Amino acid sequence: MRKFAFLLGLVLVGCQSTPQAPSAPSYQGELIDVGYFDKYGYWQPQRTQSRLDIGAEKVRKQLAAKGVVVAIYEYKIDSTGQLWELNLIQSVPEGAVTAEDLIKAKLVDAHWNVAINNKELTPVKVTERMVIMQSGVAIPPDDMNINDFLKQLNSKDQR
C-alpha cells in the first residue's frame, strides 16, 4: 500500500510540474512594430542547440530547390517571449513557402529571451523579409526595398 501511495504521489507531482503552454498572449504595454534587425533590441532567440536538426535541414533544402524564394511574414512576440500569430503575408513565387514551412525549417524562433535593454518586457510585432536560395538564407536590411535587395544579390551572383 505504501508503494502505491508513493507512486500516486510521484504521478501527481509530475503532473503539477508539467508546464502548460499559454493559451493567450501576454502584453505588458503597446506592441511596437519592428523589422528583422530591430527586434534584437527587444528580444533574443532562445536556442537550445547550435546545429539544425535533420528535419529543419530537409525543409530548408526543399525550399532552396525551388530556386530563389522570397517570404514576407509577420508575427508577434509577447511580454513572456512567446511567438504568436505567425502570418505569411506573401511568398514569391506564390505558394512556394508556407508559415508551417518557416517553423519546420526553424527560420522563425518560437521562444525568446528578453534583451538586456528591454526591462519593460515590451512586446513587438515583427515584419520580416527573407530570401531563401541554394546558397542559404539572406535577410535584407529593414529599410531596404526587397526588389533592390534582389537586384543586389543577382549582381553579386553575376561576378
Task: Quote the number of domains for the chain.
Answer: 1
In a domain, residue 14? The reply is no
In a domain, residue 40? The reply is yes
State which residues form the domain around 28: 24-158
In a domain, residue 8? The reply is no
In a domain, residue 67? The reply is yes
This model's pTM is above 0.85: no
In a domain, residue 19? The reply is no
Report the pLDDT value the prediction gives residue 152, as an integer from 0 to 100.
87
Report the pLDDT value the prediction gives residue 4, as an integer from 0 to 100.
44
Whose cell is 513587438? That residue is 124
Report the pLDDT value the prediction gives residue 7, as an integer from 0 to 100.
44
Report the pLDDT value the prediction gives residue 26, as an integer from 0 to 100.
92
Cα 71 to Cα 107: distance, rounded to the nearest angstrom: 11
Report the pLDDT value the prediction gives residue 159, as an integer from 0 to 100.
57
Report the pLDDT value the prediction gives residue 5, as an integer from 0 to 100.
46
Cα 7 to Cα 1: distance, rounded to the nearest angstrom: 10
The three three-digit cell numbers of residue 119, written as one number? 526591462
Give the chain's length: 159
pLDDT means per 10 residues in the chain (159 residues)? 48 50 84 95 85 88 92 96 96 94 92 95 96 90 88 74
DSSP 98-151: -HHHHHHTT-S-SBEEEPTT-TT---EEEEEEEEEETTEEE---TTS-HHHHHH
